[in-house]
Structures are given as C-alpha cells and as structure tokens.
Structure 1
C-alpha cells in the first residue's frame, strides 16, 4: 500500500518557471463489449506508448493516471509543453497505434471509439489531505501547505 501523507499538501510547480502545464485526457469508449477483437487491441496499445513516454525524460510527459470507467478506460496526462504533446502525436511510437485503430474501425464501425481533450493551464491549485501521492503532485512535486498557501485562493494566486 502506498504511503499516506497525513498533512495538508499541495503540488510544487510554477507554470512558466518550471515549464508550461498541459492536461491531456485520452480514452476509449467501448460501444460493443461483445467485440473484444475490436476494442482489446486499442486498449493494449496504450501501455506501450505510456512506457515509451515514461522512459524518455525529454518526452514532456510529467505523469499520468489511468481511470477505469464503465464505458472504457481513459488517462489523465500531465505534460510540460503543448509542443511536446503534439510532437509525440506525430512520432513513430504513436503513429502505428493510430493507423491500426483506423484500419480496425473501418471493419466494425462504431464498436470502439477514441477521444481526447487538451487543456493549456495558466494557473493550477491543488490540495491533498491524508492521501497517497497522486494527481498533479505525483506528476510534479509534493510540498506541505504553509501559511501563504493555506486557502485555495492563496494557492492559485499569481502574486
């Protein structure tokens, strides 16, 4: 079991100074559970890409979290740059998975879907109380909440 941080904690990452911050949500929607031949290859492609990105410290991927939803799994990813995220979209590690998805989806249209949402973050605030390391703090760094960062308004302030 992961260690529990019992105090009030927040993330440590100064947008602009430490890099940009991009939150990227990507997932699949299983529309035909009875067609694992269509959705299982899509699911199986993601761990390889995440491993490749995690091993390359220059990739721009700061961290990620798998989310399991009844309609299909998805990931929350934290990136240091929109340019690095887009560079990976055209990279050799990503292209074969995307091409394979497109080939399979033509054979059974609608059996499985893919989606993504991209957010450029100008300010970010977080609080973690009695939790293991997770979210933005896991992707960046964890620090205790202090007097100057006691409230959400103080933590998100640009002053």
Structure 2
C-alpha cells in the first residue's frame, strides 16, 4: 500500500498577478493566418524563462476554447506591463506582426488576454498528489498546516 499523499499549498502570502493569454482559431483552413501567431508564443516564453528578472514566475500551456492558451504567473503588474511594452523584446515585435497580419487576415485568428491582479489574502490553493502545478510551481509548495485544511482558512479575507 502506498503512502497517503500530503496536501500542499503554494508558499506565498503577498500580491500576485495571473495573466491568461490565448488565441482563437476562427478559420481553421486559413493556416497561413493562425500558424504564425501560434509560433510566436514559444520564443516569448523562452525569453521570459531565461530572464527571471523580467518578473514572470511560471507559465503553463493548455488547450482552451477555440485554441491554445497560456496561464502565466507574474510577481507584479509593473513587470508584466514593462515586458509588454519593452522595445527590443520579442513581445513588441510579435504584437506589431500580429497587427499587420490581422489587417490582411481579417477575423481568421483572434487573440485575447485577461489580467487578474490578486491582492494578498485573496488567493489559495491545495494540491494532493499533484506537485508542481499552478501557484505552487510559481512560488513553491509547503505542506498544508494545521488550521489551514480548508480553503476558507487559507484565505485571509473577511467572510
């Protein structure tokens, strides 16, 4: 019989930023319109992984509604915005290329993002036999301690 997994939670009590970015393939047969958009993301994620000083803590990719999406965890909003607007960075060039391509391709491919600025005390997590995911991948994991077994106990918001 295997040992019972120890529940863990992420090791961070401060503010954090969750950034969701995805693309929607509206015209699957227009490969020339959406494939370059798809190919633009991996180099940006590699750039961010190589340069932790830019502020992205972790990213994970998934297949979402209509196409791929990336969930990113950032240390703060200022870092995310600085990366988005940095001249000479891969994002700025990819954004310019997307806008030029969008004028030619119409609605064949769409992009979207959502930015969630989460204050301290307004985020919680639990992982049971699921190490290295989400906030735990971004901030590290610690065992769920006594008095923090329930989500409400891990949150520091007034109920």
TM-score, normalising length from structure 2? 0.90
* 1:150 CA displacement: 1.2
Instruction: Say yes or no: does 1:63 pair with 2:58.
Output: yes
Q: Give structure 1 stretches of 5+ with no counterpart.
A: none
Q: Give structure 2 stretches of 5+ with no counterpart.
A: none
Which residue number corresponds to residue 67 of structure 2? 72
Contact 1:67 1:74 in 2 (8 A): yes
Instruction: Say yes or no: does 1:41 pair with 2:40.
Output: no
Paired residues for 1:90-105 under 5 Å: 90-91=85-86, 92=88, 93-105=90-102
Instruction: Say yes or no: does 1:22 pair with 2:21.
Output: no
1:36-76 CA-to-partner distances (Å, cap 9, x unmatched) read 10100000000000000111121110101101135110111
Paired residues for 1:121-132 under 5 Å: 121-122=118-119, 123-132=122-131
TM-score, normalising length from structure 1? 0.90
Whole-angstrom CA distance in 2 between matches of 1:158 and 1:114? 33
Whole-angstrom CA distance in 1 between matches of 2:5 and 2:70? 26
Moved runs in structure 1, 4+ residues, more than 3 A? none
Contact 1:6 1:131 in 2 (8 A): no
Whole-angstrom CA distance in 2 between matches of 1:96 and 1:36? 21
Whole-angstrom CA distance in 2 between matches of 1:69 and 1:155? 28
Query: Which SS does the other structure have where 1:64 is aligned?
Result: strand
* 1:148 CA displacement: 2.5
Which residue number corresponds to residue 144 of structure 2? 145
* 1:149 CA displacement: 1.3
Whole-angstrom CA distance in 1 between matches of 2:97 and 2:29? 20
